[in-house]
Copies of this chain bind each other. A is one copy, B any other.
Amino acid sequence: MSTRSIVSIREMIAAHPSAPPVDADVLARCIEECFRCEATCTSCADASLGDDDIADLVRCIRDCLDCADVCASTGRILTRQGAVVAFLRGTLEVCAEACRVCAEECEKHAAHHEHCRLSAEECRRCEDVCNEVLRLLD
């Protein structure tokens, strides 16, 4: 295992020449959740493809793939400094909505599929912190 230290987004924000548009701790958490949600949704979609009841999980797979793409794009955009606030707001609103839609679908399968339960939990975390950044942008 590597002996190097883990590098956090929070440290990267501190090392950036520009000040972040909102509180750095909240922004860092939002970026981290976006990338984590991308990974979690990618995994949930793939796990669903391997389940016996795949035919019941088609909506879940599509929502997970959409959510992963939106989270990836949002994570990158939030990482860059200087986007106009109106565009940042729209991006965060769409991301929160993608997470909400995906969480609602995954929650339907959470009792039978642990990967859906976990994915829904992560989508809700990402939705929450996107909304938290949105409130700070007001």
Contact = CB atoms under 8 A, between A and B. Distances in A.
Interface of A: 1-2, 4-7, 9, 11-18, 29, 31-32, 35-36, 38-40, 42-44, 46-47, 49-51, 54-55, 58-59, 61-63, 65-66, 68-70, 72-73, 75-77, 79-84, 86-87, 90-91, 93-94, 97-98, 101, 113-115, 118-119, 121-122, 124-125, 128-129, 132
B50 A58 contact: yes
A73 B35 CA distance: 13
Interface of A, secondary structure class, is: helix
Contact of A2 (B81, B84, B129): B129
A43 B58 CA distance: 14
Query: What copy number does this chain have within its complex?
Result: 4
B121 A12 contact: no
Given A2-B128, A11-B118, 13 more contacts: A1-B132, A2-B124, A12-B39, A12-B115, A16-B50, A17-B50, A32-B39, A39-B79, A50-B81, A54-B58, A66-B80, A87-B97, A91-B94
4 closest Cβ pairs, A-B complex? A73-B73, A15-B114, A12-B43, A15-B115
A77 B5 CA distance: 25
Contacts of A132: 1
